[in-house]
Structure 1
């Protein structure tokens, strides 16, 4: 017997019993983003490799180790997108969307990173990205945080996440701090693990983000970036915290929160949780004005965030009680040659009258008993039962599958009225 082909490691199927939670989360996300005036942008999954080398940086784990890169038939180097910010900004620059304009955008879809799969970290993962352009003030930074706060409340997980904030200052301020930080870690080089030794000369700020408990004390005693910020950077950060204080949104200032990419500046933030083990970051964002010039655009302003949907759903599963949509409202049983023909016509007439009704018709034949089992298994509220006698009389049986109630015999008009009233919140 031949071996079955299985999914690629780290790339998972989402099965029918799992999709209702995905659909619920996606619908709430769309509603919240719409309430704040954000527009969807849809981006290619494949981009030129150069885009990510220029944006993320060649000396990073993502570019060096994690990207899915290949040559196409023309010899061009292409990459499955490992993140969405670079592609979104590329699209805005290419189509002239940043020429004196303000934009609030979001995108949603798969990203790809070849890293060691573990719970909450996959090689194909779904990400929500939100990007804003053309706004310099702290109010847009605060708006993104407020938007997320509302989303957590809508998803009933606000008490499971905490907001952490920091400021990375300007490039010049960060360069001075970087030199001081390197000197500090060089003085304690013997205490650095292998990963931190590698980062010392390439990305020293990322050492502050280490998850190695053996380095916790060393990192805690490192110089604090906030001490190196100028008046403008401090004012920007304090304006954000003042806005959050006024709105009653709690936060923790975490001076070890960094991004490690040179284009980030001023605001950085993360929403973290204790519910998911080591994968504690649910959402991360920040201001990245510097990336626009880095990709060839004119100096401008940008701030955004990204969120992994798999981690969001894992957090939602700890709540577990959501009004998830059922795949089927009504299941039609057809027994007999005439009933099978009339039943299809009857079903289409019901769908014409009640467009939002989820009506599944049994196909493939079967006894009444076997079809009734299918109806019950579908989790429908009602079974419509049609035999040859009912078909000849122009009526259909209607049996409740969820509560004790006598079976009714209804005409088409009566069935439309009855089901329309029962599903009035969704039927037209």
Structure 2
């Protein structure tokens, strides 16, 4: 019988990789808490209509990539392909807008899209995102980008590039849409198949095409920056100035439009050349019309999301992370000694030490070999004689120094043990 394996497009995150994820989560939480963001956790599946209305029925995500199913009540449900729509739905449903002021929210979790799996892109993937709802102030745009930049820099990433664009308001985009369609229509038969389909449904997405021939045609296409109204242009200029004031360099990319219909004005991507074709590690923009489109009040908003798989790939390239070292490895043999070892291990854990208790029941020699391989700083040894005398052998693995200590005395010297453990860890 063949073994069952993980489904295509999913992967296990094994213990030796989890340390990277934990580091990212810790740094993100610290930075966002300091910026007065609060965590929100939304359901993994939602009504399909949420994504059709929020993201746009003409988008590739809705048309090709969503995992949609009918439940027993014949309701159409979709496993979330992104986080923003769910946060907006929650904002409306729970009347968060009635609390007044700006809602600064962040989330992290698994998302699902039916795509061709490749490095940094899976069908089940993880995103970390922030959403600022209730502020149309241009400073919200700059602050959101600055926080993303701070997170990536704090993680130690370098050689990052910020691409920035404005897609204006609804009127700007409609004017530009007409100009783009007029330009591309004579070239329709030369466009790739996806772009031919998008020409009538979602022409701005043609700007994202990776097809070489289509890209050549787009070289002479009109730029959306030439179709911004005066208010949109002033807003875009102000965003650039604020980023400059913050010391954040940006590259103006007039072809950057993002793939979802709810975006307005500011859109951006942060990319790394170290990721090959899947270069984007963070992306987002302003979406002033999404909340009202979903039935809520007019609510200006901006947000971004980071793909955690891509971020972890970058961190693994530049920052090897060693697993946390064990303080004490506990070796025991004999029924009475094993019982005392379990009690001692729990007491030391409650005192803040990292303890690995050998549960094999094998001979002392094999347990000692595992203690050496564990990377522990010290080994605690209990056999029949120690069990009878209520003592424990304390062996410092690097020096080989070993002493017998009463179990009660060991617990009375917690402070001294902690100091010595810390010192030896620093030496290693």
Indicate the residue corresponding to 1:406 in structure 2. 401
Deviates most, 40-49 or 375-384: 375-384
Secondary structure in structure 1 of the residue aligned to 2:96: coil
- TM-score norm. by structure 1 comes to 0.94
**How far, CA to CA, are the matches of 1:329 and 1:162 in structure 2?**
42
Count of aligned residue pairs for this structure pair: 419
Alpha carbons 1:397, 1:407 under 8 Å: kept: yes
Per the alignment, residue 416 of structure 1 pairs with: 414
Q: Is 1:126 equivalent to 2:144 in the alignment?
A: no
Conserved 8 A contact 1:271-1:284: yes
1:26 has 2:21 as partner: no
Alignment of 1:213-292 (within 5 A): 213-292=212-291
Partner residue in 2 for 1:331 = 329
What are structure 1's unaligned runs of at least 5 residues? none
- 1:364-379 mapped onto 2 (5 Å cutoff): 364-379=360-375
Which range moves more in the overlay, 409-418 or 377-386?
409-418
Q: Residue 426 of structure 2 aligns with which residue?
A: none
| Aligned-pair CA distance for 1:415 | 5.2
**Separation in 1 of the partners of 2:243 and 2:235?**
13
1:59-98 matched pairs, under 5 angstroms: 59-98=58-97
Query: Normalised by the size of structure 2, how large is the TM-score?
Result: 0.94
Q: Distance in 2 between matches of 1:98 and 1:180?
A: 37
> Which whole-Å deviations, capped at 9, do the CAs of 1:191-214 have from their partners, x for residues lacking one?
311111111111111111112233
Per-residue displacement from partner, 1:132-182 (whole Å, max 9, x unpaired)?
A: 10111111110111111111121100x231111000100001100000000
Structure 2: runs of 5+ lacking an equivalent: 424-428
1:113 and 1:231 mapped to 2: Cα distance?
Answer: 38
Q: Quote the residue 2:4 is aligned against.
A: 5
What do residues 241-279 of structure 1 show as CA deviations (whole Å, max 9, x unaligned)? 111111111111111110243321110000011111110
Q: Which runs of 4+ in 1 moved over 4 A?
A: none
Cα distance in 1 between the residues matched to 2:412 and 2:348: 11
Q: For the Cα contact (< 8 Å) 1:70–1:77, is it kept in 2?
A: yes
**Following TM superposition, by how much is the alpha carbon of 1:396 offset from its aligned partner in structure 2, in angstroms?**
1.8
Residue matched to 1:208: 207
For 1:273 and 1:377, how far apart are their aligned partners in 2? 37
Give 1:16 shift.
Answer: 1.5
Comparing 99-108 with 373-382, greater Cα deviation is found at 373-382
Matching of residues 45-194 of structure 1 within 5 Å? 45-99=44-98, 100-157=100-157, 159-194=158-193
- SS of structure 2 residue aligned to 1:175: helix
Are the aligned partners of 2:163 and 2:270 in contact in 1 as well (CA < 8 Å)?
Answer: yes
Greater Cα offset, 415-424 or 163-172? 415-424
Which protein has the bigger helix share? 2
Deviation, 1:11, is 0.9
Q: Contact conserved, 1:69 with 1:77, CA < 8 A, in 2?
A: yes
Per-residue deviation at 1:26?
1.2
Q: Which moved more, 1:337-346 or 1:275-284?
A: 337-346
Name the residue aligned to 1:195.
Answer: 194
